[in-house]
Structure 1
Amino acid sequence: MTVVSAFLVPGSPLPYLRQDNPPWQPLAAGYEKVRDALQASKPDALLIYSTQWFAVLDQLWQARPHLTGEHVDENWYEYGDLTIDLRSDTDLVDACIAGCADIGIRAKGVNYDHFPVDTGTIVANNFVNPGGKIPLVIAANNLYHGPGETEKLAAMAVEQADKQGKRLAVLAIGGLSAAYFDEDIDIADDRIRHDADDAANRQLLDALANGDRRSASEALGRFNEGTKADMGMKHLAWLFGATGDFKGARVHAYGPTYGAGAAVVEFNL
């Protein structure tokens, strides 16, 4: 089996930088459970899609062998810096770039020092892959791609990994409802901003936990129709494309990130 584990995780830096804040503690604790489950699955590489790395022309893939440095989030800079330590599986990245042509998508690699890596990728890697020991295959969120193209890209990446005999852990990095507070709040009182968003988030998570890909896709459609969602939940489309199917999931944590919804979910493959 090429895909040995798969997870939905938030890209917000808040649970990472302020793990002492009560509303964010469950998300940080959920991330720790994901780290343990991911490590136990013994992947050769992490297949990553973050809603926060935007591309507008070609499909971009991170091709730098090793990226290090410090990152300051453009929104939450007052909470501290993020350390970057990312290693790419360049053989698999190259294969994915070449494989894009077979599915009719133009692609290229990004390979230069001090590349502005997105916050979500850094946070997820720091939580689940401390020290950057497991190499990564990181795909950008092309703003012109819908769920269909996103699924095709993920499936193609898994096919390339299978050809190389590599085991993959899949990380779909992004939130749920995306209505943030637009005024200062006491972070100790953080909550989902709208009750309707809270209900929609919980319904989607219940569908993921209790269902399969078909029922989850139907629930996802209803979620996107009724909620301002993070990038139309294309990160879940990535996970669906990579796994092909799943049989339920375990929700390790659910909570707010300055009003928006976030969850840590482990999928049963």
Structure 2
Amino acid sequence: MTVVSAFLVPGSPLPQLRPDVAPWGRLRDAMSAAGKALAESKPDCVLVYSTQWFAVLDQLWVTRQRSTGLHVDENWHEFGEQTFDIVSDTATAQRCVEGCRAAGIHARGVDYDQFPIDTGTITATTLMGFGNAETPVVIAANNLYHSAEQTEQLGGIASAAAAGKRVAVVGIGGLSNNMFRESIDLAADRILSEADDTWNRRLLALMEGGDIDGLRQALPSYAAEARADMGMKHFHWLLGAMGGGFKSATVRAYAPLYGSGGAVVEFSIQ
């Protein structure tokens, strides 16, 4: 297995549904550019973890070869619907299930017609252009009982399951997760607080510098003080899949998403 590219992208549907709103449009453009970089890395498959696909009892993996449907986000339904047609690398996904079980993690595959694929996965595959026959996906659920460390372990299991393949890795989720609870002028969207903005920029700077030790030290405080999306488990997934580190990162965009923080980050693999 060779990790050929890795990305952290927001899971909000707003960049797809309302790109006319300037900050959301910037994120859409950045995700499109990241998708081109992913394609240029020529992966055989894409390992995906979204904070928005919740699991409780087991660690779930999509083992259905093709998932199609029409999705309406539960929070942003007024902005429209999302169609999806996603192709999965079922053999690798099944190996992920087996790898979890070998590690003592309860896991099973999901292979149901019209299974509700989450907003983040739909948005990322749509805007970045993967999840098709040329670049199928391996989609892992966010088990709500798994810690950051266990999620990092899952990333490593997924990488091991893709032995012999070139893989791209995508962690789907936001940064600070404090949002406006009242209607706002969309054109005036901003990060909810200066403290959240400061934390987001600090974390992104650590990523840009490839400061793994600094990131590991900062993440617990960041998760607590900025109420980071699922404690940044999507970033821990990336770390696990990349073998615990990376050389540096490029922030393609950083912008507000109704007060919360979103960024498109591309990692340079060691």
Query: If the length of structure 2 is used for normalisation, what is the TM-score?
Result: 0.96
1:137 aligns with 2:127: no
Q: Give per-residue Cα distances to partners, 1:100-158, cap 9 Å, x unaligned.
A: 11211010001111111100000000011257231110000000000111011110110
5 Å matches for 1:162-241? 162=163, 165-241=164-240
Answer whether contact 2:52 2:119 (CA < 8 A) is retained. yes
5 Å matches for 1:25-36? 25-36=25-36
- Number of residue pairs aligned between Structure 1 and Structure 2: 267
Q: Distance in 1 between matches of 2:162 and 2:130?
A: 23
Answer whether contact 1:255 1:262 (CA < 8 A) is retained. yes
Identity %: 55
Q: Distance in 2 between matches of 1:212 and 1:241?
A: 15
Q: Distance in 2 between matches of 1:217 and 1:39?
A: 30
1:248, CA displacement in angstroms? 1.3
- What is the aligned partner in structure 2 of residue 93 from structure 1? 93
Answer whether contact 2:87 2:137 (CA < 8 A) is retained. yes
5 Å matches for 1:1-269? 2-129=2-129, 132-133=132-133, 134-162=135-163, 165-244=164-243, 245-269=245-269
Instruction: After the TM superposition, list the runs of 4 or more consecutive aligned residues in structure 1 that deviate by more than 3 angstroms.
Output: none
1:23, CA displacement in angstroms? 2.0
Q: Distance in 2 between matches of 1:188 and 1:62?
A: 37
CA-atom RMSD, angstroms?
Answer: 1.1
1:212, CA displacement in angstroms? 3.3
Q: Distance in 2 between matches of 1:131 and 1:220?
A: 30
Could you list the runs of 5+ residues in structure 2 that have no partner in the other structure? none
Q: Distance in 2 between matches of 1:132 and 1:71?
A: 18
1:221, CA displacement in angstroms? 2.7
Answer whether contact 1:63 1:111 (CA < 8 A) is retained. yes
